[in-house]
Chains A and B, each alone.
Chain A
Amino acid sequence: MDHSNVRSPEGAGDNASPTLSVTVPAWKQPGVISNHRRRVMKGRIVEVLAVLCILAVLLPLGDMIYMFAYRGLQVISIPKLTTITVGSASFVSGGLANAIAGTALLISLAAAITIPIGVLGGVYMSEFSNDSRLSEGLRFAADIMAGNSSIVLGYVGYLVFVLYFGWGYSAAAGALTLSILMFPYVFRTTELALRKVPASIREAAIALGSTKTTMINRLVLRFALPGILTGIILAVGIGLSETAPLLYTALFSNYLPSGALFHEPIGYLTYVVYVYSQLPSNGAHDLAYLSSFLLISAVLVINVVARVGLRKLSKV
């Protein structure tokens, strides 16, 4: 922007008390008051719009929760939760025991794999890595993996575990695929939680003669634990909610998991929502509603635990 015309032509721009050309204070100038009213009006309109925006988003959320809670609670019963699904297509009855057990198994396996790798990896990034090119690259890779479409991951799982390793549709294939999905979240959140531990604490420990590893184990991890746990819990929530990675790795099964990790398909709740919602039988629809309800409840609990638990633990 060319400001050469700001200088006064007479060049009388010295500092000694020049007279301001308009000495009337701003609020006395005409138009400022009415303009001001307009400005305040604009602000009010924006406030209303902002409220409308949040309502526009809360409405679907509320409808979703209400609908699935209502139908889910209509359908729920002990038998429904403890018997397995029977039949398929136009005649479905029974319960969700197979799906619930399958989800539980898959998540547990996936967590068992992801947690050590993710947490230790995060520890490495935060404590040992010196922010080198390597660590930047790792973060980059993790971010790319996190941003990937879940079906792409499902394809990878199918091609690698089901086909190439020859495991067939199995809990192992599903769990491993899930763990690849969950890994970036645990990895990054652990690193973040560890970085939040103040440097002063680390320095105090070193100054007292502690070795680096002891300091980390005893002190830093304890401080960062709430953050790490929250990351794990939230990653579990993400794993619970996934369908696509499991479609072609775990397939589905009407039977309770037998403990075989290979060559045996396994059921899971999200599949029930996906497929049974489209089947012609009312029994199937009931199961789909119930699964949705269970899934939403699980997510709700996870969110509450993560938020509240984190706040409480952080105050220690």
Chain B
Amino acid sequence: MVSALLGSSAFLFLFLTIVVLVIFSYPSFIVNGLGFFTSITWNPSLSGSVVTVNGIRSMSGASFGMLVFFSGTLLSSGLALLIGVPLSLGIAIFLSEVAPQRISNIMSFFVELLAGIPSIVFGFWGFLVLGPFLIHSVEPVMAKYLYFIPYFGGKVYSYGLPASGLILALMTVPIIASISRDAMAQTPIELREAGRALGLTDWEVTRKIVLPSARTAIAGSIVLGLGRALGETMAVVMVSESAVNILPKTFYYPINSIAAFMAQTLDSAFTDPTKMEIYALVELAVVLLLITTTVNVIARLLVRRGFITSAEHVVQV
């Protein structure tokens, strides 16, 4: 049937993606080996000469390592969840339990609007407003008073981790909040009534009946949000410097994520005559693909119990 064939394009696209990325990352995998995963150096060594290693051409002295970007991705996504999850749950509780229906509907609309804002615009706002605010008003204060906590003292360099984490948090909030809100609103009314009849206050009904009943969906939504944060590209590009070859020593150091680095660097990689930097970047793409796929598979397992995944949640029916 025609529609069957067309539907199978899902397989086609996925297959294409995997095959293409694996093919084009292979040279880099051979040349850089396991060092790719442990090295913090990203050096295309473009001013050197061409050498051939194992039949593959690369620049002499070139060595590519992803650790800086990998840690940047993990740190920024971790911070995003740290801030975003409580915020989202608070919003979900507000929308589902606290607010009267009308206000809840209006606020839900705004939360969805937040989800639709283009990530580059988010990043632009971060660049114009959030970043400056953080490095001028917040981070110096933090560094001054929290110096005794390791990582939290020292000089504030540029936008870096706090800005990225906060922007990413704002981008994951709609996902977590709306899925959680829906799950909470679907708590069977008999359970709520049973709780109320026993003399529970509203908050106790929420805490002891509604939240436990929604917990699988909430967990799934958090993992989905994590997936979004891990792969987010342009917003991070706008608020991070091209930090290369150093791991962040403090909270205020500039960072870079895998996705952001990939977006920033590909055009300069075109100048590599051996194309090795391109291959290395594609290897980064493979790593990123593996990360987001793993996270999404976990989310799917959690959210499997007759609920919705991120693609479906686009439609808030």
- Residue numbers of A with Cβ under 8 A of B are 26, 39-40, 42-43, 46-47, 49-54, 56-58, 60-61, 63-64, 67-68, 116-117, 120-125, 127-129, 135, 137-156, 158-160, 164, 180, 183-185, 187-189, 192-193, 196, 227, 230-231, 234-235, 237-238, 240-244, 247-248, 270, 273-274, 277, 288, 292, 295-296, 299-300, 302-303, 306-307, 310
Contacts and interface: CB of A to CB of B under 8 A. Distances in A.
Contacts of B237: 274
A288 B87 CA distance: 30
A273 B7 contact: no
B3 A120 contact: yes
Given A43-B203, A57-B91, A183-B13, A120 B315 contact: no
B14 A241 contact: no
A41 to B, nearest CB: 10
Nearest to A52: B90
Interface in B92-133: 93-95, 97-98, 107, 109-114, 116-125, 127-130
B220 to A, nearest CB: 12
A123 B114 CA distance: 30
Given A185-B314, A243-B120, A143 B20 contact: no
Interface of B: 1-4, 6-11, 13-14, 16-17, 20-21, 24, 86-91, 93-95, 97-98, 107, 109-114, 116-125, 127-130, 170, 173, 199, 201-204, 206, 224, 227-228, 230-234, 237-238, 259, 262-263, 266-267, 281-282, 285, 288-289, 292-293, 295-297, 299-300, 309-312, 314-317
Contacts of B238: 274, 277
24 contacts: A51-B98, A54-B111, A58-B110, A67-B125, A117-B9, A123-B3, A137-B11, A144-B293, A145-B13, A147-B296, A149-B259, A149-B292, A153-B17, A158-B266, A188-B312, A189-B311, A189-B312, A231-B314, A234-B315, A238-B116, A243-B120, A270-B120, A277-B127, A296-B121
A151 B259 contact: yes
B130 A241 contact: no
A247 B268 CA distance: 13
A274 B3 contact: no
B129 A151 contact: no
A40 B201 contact: yes
A57 B87 contact: yes
Contact of B8 (A127, A138, A151): A138
Contacts of B89: 53
Contacts of B266: 155, 158, 247-248
B116 A143 contact: no
B131 to A, nearest CB: 12
B232 A149 contact: yes
A39 B204 contact: yes
B124 A188 contact: no
Given A243-B120, A244-B234, A151 B285 contact: yes
Given A57-B111, A61-B113, A138-B11, A147 B234 contact: no
Contact of A128 (B1, B267, B281, B289): B1
Contact of B119 (A43, A120, A196, A241): A241
Contacts of B127: 277
B263 A151 contact: yes
A124 B269 CA distance: 42
A234 to B, nearest CB: 5
Contact of B10 (A145, A241, A244): A145
Contact of B118 (A116, A156, A183, A270): A270
A227 B315 contact: yes
